[in-house]
Amino acid sequence: MIKLYPSRGEYDVHEVSSWADMERDLSAWLGNSLQQDAIRRVYELEKPVKESGSDELVDTWAHLLTSDHFYYMSTKYWNDGDVHKYFSPYNTPYDAYINYMNVLTDLEQQVSRAST
């Protein structure tokens, strides 16, 4: 249960919903293997980043959780795909993925150096 306004009661949510795309679900952010790989890798870094004690690394990691990164990796077609392309600074979802993974790899290396 989510209590949005405690004085007004409860709102029971059984399914995730979204404003994005025809499906109105999380597929705009997690609908393909690129997005799923990226989110898995960034969440695998959560514990080591937090254990590093570095505010800078935590801040960088938190910025990598911004939903736009995953939205730009969408490979949807038709009208939904056109909207994704319009908002993305990348030429393709694959370019977005490669750029994101390069930044993530750099963060992984920084975390590794901080833990030694």
Closest CA to 74 of 39, 19, 18, 32: 32
Q: Return all residues near 69 (Cβ < 8 A) that are at least 6 apart.
A: 38, 96, 100
pLDDT of residue 12: 72
| Domain contains 57 | yes
Distance CA 48, CA 44 (A): 8
| Domain contains 1 | no
Q: How many CB atoms lie within 10 A of CB 104?
A: 19
| Domain contains 19 | no
Classified as helix, coil or strand, 34 is: helix
CB-CB contact of 72 with 45 (8 Å): no
| Domain contains 94 | yes
CB-CB contact of 84 with 70 (8 Å): no
| Domain contains 62 | yes
pTM of the predicted protein model = 0.77
User: How high is the mean pLDDT of the chain?
Assistant: 84
Q: What is the chain's pLDDT, residue by residue, as a tens digit (116 residues)?
A: 455 555 666 667 677 666 665 666 778 888 899 999 999 999 999 999 999 999 999 999 999 999 999 999 988 765 555 565 667 899 999 999 999 999 999 999 999 999 87
pLDDT of residue 28: 83
| Domain contains 8 | no
Number of domains in the chain: 1
Task: Please give the residue range of the domain that contains residue 85.
Answer: 27-114
